[in-house]
Structure 1
Amino acid sequence: MINEQDILNASILIVDDQQSNVLLLEEMLHDVGYACIASTTDPYMACELHRKNRYDLMLLDLQMPGLDGFQVMEGLKQIETGGYLPVLAITAQPGHKLRALIAGAKDFIAKPFDLVEIQTRIHNMLEVRLLYRELEIQNKVLEQKVLERTAELRESEARFRRLTELSSDWHWEQDKNGHFTKIFGPVYDMLGIRVNDDLTITRDYQGGTWNECERDILEEYLTTRQPFLDFVYSRTKPDGSQQYLMVSGEPIFSPSGRFMGYRGIGKEVTEAMATRQGVTSS
């Protein structure tokens, strides 16, 4: 939050070709406690000073010889590319007020000066300016946090993929229509499926002959949206050997109970089954 001291510590630049006006404004600002005040009677210096110091507020006279306040504001737009000109226009011409606002000034004060009015307008404008700047900073911090979090998620996903590649397990996710949305490892081969050009899925018999009874049980789980744990099914490979696979899966539901798909893991357990069968037969 912006407090009173923040406002009094804000940086202010006075730009007026009349030295008497500059001195009057400086005295008025010092009297109420403003601490960071700069000034110039040369309008050609205004943009360069602002480029170097990025003042929180510029008190800008509109009627100056050589380069008027409207031309100065055009130059400031090249510096304040975000579109916010911290300009409080000073004018003795009532017709210039609307023109100044259209040109980008945020407020104006009239000559001859009403000191109470000047103090009020400066205070209010600085409060808005500092809040605007604080919002910009918070947005940048938030954007940086989002970038960092995104990088962390990508790194985590990369680690997961790498660990999956090193693991004997395979992982899969399906949407509500049975289409695979994520696969890690030889999922298609292990599940004995083929993905057609239209993204439909059919059994793939090229890798051998599946135990139809076991496959029917597995498909029943999927069709009825039931979870299953360590379900073992097998196929006879073209060389006559047996291959055993173990798969676990669970249906995914939204908080409202809507079916979203399936996710699961699996692995080949041929060696484990052979060992178990050897122990049983002995």
Structure 2
Amino acid sequence: MISTQDILNASILIVDDQQANVQLLAEMLREADYRCIASTTNPYEVCALHQKDHYDLIILDLQMPGMDGFEVMEALKESETDGYVPILVITAQPNHKLRALTSGAKDFVSKPFDLIEVQTRIHNMLEVRLLYKQLEHNNEILEQTVLERTAELHQSEARFRRLTELSSDWYWEQDTDGHFTKIFGPVLEMLGIKVDDELGNIRDDHGACWNEGEREILEAKLAGRRPFLDFVYSRIKPDGSQQYLMVSGEPIFDSSGGFTCYRGVGKDVTDTMRSNYA
């Protein structure tokens, strides 16, 4: 929210070639408790002044010799970096109002001044301008927060992958059709299997014989989208030795509850199982 103090502390530039008009507007603003008031009677100075001080409001007279208010607005549009030029124009020509608005002015007041109207329009314009700046600031904070959270996520993923590598032999992911989409670790070499590049299916090229009962239990867990922890299954390798594998997996669902993938870890526990049965 924009407070009254925020509005009264906003920076204002008065531009009018008539010193009397400048003094009238400045006095009116001071009486209304505005604190940051600057002025110039030279329209050629406006762009440089605005680039230096970034005024929250420019009160601009249209009828000025040498460089009129329309030319000042064109110059400001070229120099303004954020695309928002906070200009309130002053004109004694009714037919200039529409042209001023299409040229970039945000509002206008007519000569001779109605002080209540001028104060109201100034207050309203400053409130909009400060809200615009606040929105820009919030967007910058949001963008920075997103960048920081993204960096944290990448770091977290890297730590997770490293921990996975240390605590297991491989990490795996399957899509909704059961095809392996990611495998990290030496699982392919360990099991002597290959991945079908077209379908993502794993196939055993060495004639190993899996324990069908254990495989059916594991496949039922996968088909039922159920999590499983440290499930052990085995196979007889071509050389006649028995190999034991332990896998854990969890199903991943989207915000609407739809299944998206499985992910998990696995390791060869043959030595452990042999020692248990020894």
TM-score, normalized by length of structure 2? 0.90
> Shift of residue 240 of structure 1?
4.4
Distance 1:220 1:188, change over 3 A: farther
1:38 has 2:8 as partner:
no
Once the two structures are TM-superposed, the CA of residue 177 in structure 1 deviates from its matched residue by 1.3
Identify the residue that residue 211 of structure 1 maps to in structure 2: 210
Change (3 A) 1:225 1:191: farther
Q: CA deviation at 1:75?
A: 1.6
Greater shift after overlay, 17-26 or 181-190?
181-190
Alignment of 1:1-282 (within 5 A): 1-188=1-188, 194-206=194-206, 209-213=208-212, 214-254=214-254, 257-278=257-278
CA shift for structure 1 position 191: 6.9
**Amino acid paired to 1:270:** T
Structure 2 CA distance for partners of 1:150 and 1:252, relative to 1, 3 Å:
closer
Unaligned runs of 5+ in 1: none
CA distance, structure 1, for counterparts of residue 180 and residue 202 of structure 2: 13
Of 178-187 and 59-68, more deviation after overlay is shown by 178-187
Distance verdict in 2 for CA 1:196–1:75, change over 3 Å: same
Query: Does the CA contact (< 8 Å) of 1:192 and 1:203 recur in 2?
Result: no
1:212 deviates by 4.2
Q: Cα gap change, 1:182/1:117 in structure 2, threshold over 3 Å: closer, same or farther?
A: same
Give, in whole Å, the separation in 2 of the partners of 1:105 and 1:137. Answer: 23
RMSD (Å), alpha carbons: 2.2
Q: 138-147 or 193-202, which moves further after superposition?
A: 193-202
228-237 or 183-192: bigger deviation: 183-192
**Greater displacement, 91-100 / 35-44:** 91-100
Residue range with higher mean Cα deviation, 240-249 or 45-54? 240-249
Residues 51/17 of structure 1: CA separation in 2 closer, same or farther (3 Å cut): same
Q: Which runs of 5+ in 2 are unaligned?
A: none
Contact persistence 2:180–2:202 (CA under 8 A): no
- Whether the 8 Å CA contact 1:165–1:185 is kept in 2: the answer is yes
Count of residue correspondences:
277
> What does the per-residue CA deviation read over 1:17-74, in whole Å, with 9 as the maximum and x for residues that have no partner?
1111111111111111111100000101000000000000000111211111111111
